Amino acid sequence: MSVDTFNIVRGLHILAVIAWMAGMLFLPRLFAYDAEQAGKAEPLRSEMQALLREWQRRLLKIIINPSMIAAWVFGVWMIFIHVYTFGAGWGFVAQPWMATKLLAVTALSGWHGFLAGEFRRIGAGTSVRTGRFWRLTNEIPFLIAIIAVLSVTIEWRFG
């Protein structure tokens, strides 16, 4: 496997992460708009909620879920390239910067799972989250992404 293959895999990983992040930054905004429909009069409330829930479903199923899977697949592929092609060995994943990135990606995946669960709760009418909650937590994925990106670009180490 060549460096060119690694660069293609890395580029596809970056594109998948961009799509994943875009979706996870937009979905809470749709949840906020949905929660704020509660005080509206019918039939506008029902019509708007139906539209928002369709957008939420499409965003999850068409963009967020596939891009998360692609980000993980290309990310794991890059790890295997480092370990087996570049000869980094499995100690590579224990380096502080890489371990931090993997923890950040796990946190992003957990937030993704929380959003998917909340989508189901919203659809079932059991969500207790407010528009304010969604606005306050909207930037969580971006904050986690800052940690992941800086870990990779700086490749910091102890000592």
C-beta of residue 11 within 8 angstroms of C-beta of residue 74: no
Q: What is the pLDDT of residues 63-73, one digit of tens each?
A: 999 999 999 99
CA angle 82, 84, 89 (to 5 degrees): 70
Sequential DSSP letters for 44-91: HHHHHHHHHHHHHHHIIIIIIHHHHHHHHHHHHHHHHIIIIIS---GG
**Cα R_g (the chain), whole angstroms:** 19
What pLDDT, on the 0 to 100 scale, is given for residue 3? Answer: 79
Q: What is the pLDDT of residues 70-125, one digit of tens each?
A: 999 999 999 999 999 998 899 989 999 999 999 999 999 999 999 999 999 999 99
